[in-house]
Amino acid sequence: MGSLMNEPDTDFHLKLNEQLFHIPHELVRKNVKQVQKLIDRETAVLQKLFTEMNKLLESNTLEQDKLALVKLNDIIKHVDHIEKRLNKRGEEELKLLNRIDSRIKFFKELEESKASRDVSRLTEWYQKFTNLLVGDYLMRNSTVRSNSSVPENISNEDEKYWNPGVVFLRQQNLKTLLDYDILLSANRISKALTESHDLGPLLSWIGENKSFLKRNYSFLEFEARLQEYVELIKTANFIDAIACFRNYLLQFMESNFADLKLASGLLVFIKSCEYNQIMSQSKISYDQERNNNIPNGKSEACFTTRDQIYKHFFHKKVLPKPSLPYSSNDFNLNYCNKNLDFERYTDLLDEKRWSTLNDLFTKEYYSMYGISHQEPLLMYLSLGISALKTKECVNHRVVISSDNEKLDSFIDENVLTSNCPVCSEEFAPIAKNLPYAHHTESKLFENPVMLPNGNIYDAKKLKLLATTLNRKNLCSLDDGKVMDPIDKNIYSESEFITMYPT
């Protein structure tokens, strides 16, 4: 009970979960801007309509009065339309404010549980919070699916996309505690880039957030359009590629002139670049295969031209061939290709550009909504693992095998097996780069002794192990003898060196 009550306070959790409030705050601010733009735009339209109606009424004719009446009906319909749109914006803001309110109540519940020292209530809160972290993780990493395959347990047909994270949060009644629509949108665009190589969702998002990207001096739009241009060239769709270059890339002439120059060159040398890519990959594969087949790493002569063969066997240089005059029509582009460095072009064709583009997108997207790049679940796991990690963790000790397989199997399963969560296969990759826990007190067994090989054990457990091995007929040990379970050497109890904690 004491350990549970001594958990980090509410402020600690709030600092690690600022995104739970950053996202709805940003959405509320965005909604207010949209309402203001709507009011300004529609006010101008209404003023124009009223002006036209007043002009019609000033004529004092029956025909003009009829037209004015029609104009008045148009104004009424337009006002109704504005009212519906404003109501929709108001409902959206109310929904966002309810999200913020539910999250404030959620953390207040933690504060009250600690104040009342109600262990069951506090345990229940941590269970909910753990489910929330799991839902966040699933939301960010699971595949996003369209509404056409919505399962039966999702009743809201208005949801356009979903993934297992959405389903989990709905089942746990935690959907108001996480902005799943924002995380789902980021996941959907990210998966489209890295898995489907589809620029459509990203370009749509860029179009909706141009002002933000421009304000942050972001190169995301340029990189996305450049990738679109490259993909069009790859498919030999040169007409659309030129149109893309003219319509979207030329505007970045001042800021990305070198990249644009490279992109325009790619249009000319795309065939040569693809050929050089294939040849370089083939050469790497050939060199690796040849080196693997040559014993002791010895190299063999490799000839690629007749001149090299002639020089090798006859030890003479090939006489230069007389140059023949040629006209400009005889110019061969292949001659030019041999003298060009295609690496700068092939970088544009590299598939790694998709992951780079995805990293740039997530950086801009997360910064816009104040989302942490570190996944909350992994952050909390890292904190817990770091509190448990010792210098013995994640260090694979070398265990020497003996001639007795049964003995090795017994010691491995019953003596050396560790239940340490830090050393488990699931958490070891996370714990690898984390710092060790800071312990102010040493926690040792009652009778620590050191064997001549430097290994330290509990003397009582060593003697118990010797008795167990004799009883199971796994090893024959004389009285006063023990076995080191790591190196399988046998030592006498008289060789024990008593250890004292310092």
Give the Cα separation of 500 and 498 in Å (integer).
7
200-208 and 352-369 are packed helices; what angle lies between their axes, rounded to 10 degrees? Answer: 30
- pLDDT confidence of residue 484: 87
Q: Confidence band (pLDDT; 50, 70, 90) for 190? A: very high
Are 162 and 145 in contact by the 8 Å Cβ rule? The answer is: yes
* pLDDT surpasses 50 at 384: yes
Per residue in 292-319, pLDDT (tens digit) is: 554 444 444 444 555 665 565 455 565 5
- Share of residues in the chain with pLDDT > 70 (%): 78
Whether 155 has a pLDDT exceeding 50, the answer reads no
Q: Is the pLDDT of residue 37 over 80?
A: yes
Dihedral (C-alpha) 233, 234, 240, 242: value to the nearest 10 degrees? Answer: 0
With a cut of 50, say whether residue 332 has pLDDT above it: no
DSSP assignment letter at 319? P
pLDDT for residue 119 is more than 80: yes
Q: Give me the phi and psi of 190, to 5 degrees please.
A: -65, -45
Tell me how far apart the alpha carbons of residues 22 and 44 are, in angstroms, rounded to a whole number: 33
Find the mean pLDDT for residues 378-391.
79
With a cut of 60, say whether residue 126 has pLDDT above it.
yes
pLDDT category at 321 given cuts 50, 70, 90 is low
Residue corresponding to tokens 């050191």: 450
Structure confidence by residue, pLDDT tens digits, 426-483: 777 777 778 777 766 666 667 888 888 888 888 888 888 888 888 888 888 888 888 8
* Predicted pLDDT at 145: 80
